[in-house]
Structure 1
Amino acid sequence: MPPAMLAIIACYLAHLALEILPLYATPMAQFELFTPSMVVIGLYGVAMSVALWRKQPWARVWLVLTTVIAAFLLGRLLWRGVSIAQWPAVAAGILRIAVGAMLFLPSVRRWFAQRRA
């Protein structure tokens, strides 16, 4: 596994932590289904990380597509103005965009191409 792939998985998991953990300090955390919802989102992230680890091409495509959406949402957040309290959301968006960009590195592209060969 190329070191860039390990960096992608680490950044993706850090992105999830920065998206989920700060929400526990908001009033949304008081809702009954909040914790189960966050657990499902966390499990989704772990499943995507495992799919990347196992060289699943669909996982790479899916992450690139959802990264485009994340970039759009980060752009909207920045356009509206960001308060200092929203720094985890901005950091999560930046990490997500970094993950999407790193998926196109030559070593990562070869990593996924080996599966098809």
Structure 2
Amino acid sequence: MAKMDMDGLWMVERAFWLDGVEAYEANLHDEAVMVFPGLGILDREAIIDSIRHAPRWTQLEMSDQRAITAGTTAVLAYAAEGRREGAEPYRARCISTYVKRPEGWRMISHQQTPV
């Protein structure tokens, strides 16, 4: 995958954290699953519903970023530190998997492990 394409995927990844539900509706695969601490395993409908009701992150720092591609699949792994208004920082190790669709890259899975 070209560096420009990979940079675009990292921008989408940031949007999942910082932007509203529109980022999820536009970039989440129809069959997506996510694993969140305290919430469990969520399908696309539950993911979008939970985002509608959760406060958004106001800041995000990503470090130890790694990306691999294999054909029509891309995996992003990184350490995240997110901040919400009036809350303690949240730190996690994250991994997201994207698949290439005719309309572009779509996230099909994401997992967060708090540290």
TM class by shorter chain equals: under 0.3
User: Could you state the TM-score of these two structures normalised by the residue count of structure 2?
Assistant: 0.27
* Bigger Rg, structure 1 or 2: 1
In terms of fraction of residues, the more strand-rich structure is 2
In terms of fraction of residues, the more helix-rich structure is 1
User: Could you state the TM-score of these two structures normalised by the residue count of structure 1?
Assistant: 0.27
Task: Specify which structure has the bigger relative contact order, considering alpha-carbon pairs within 8 angstroms and separated by 6 or more residues.
Answer: 1
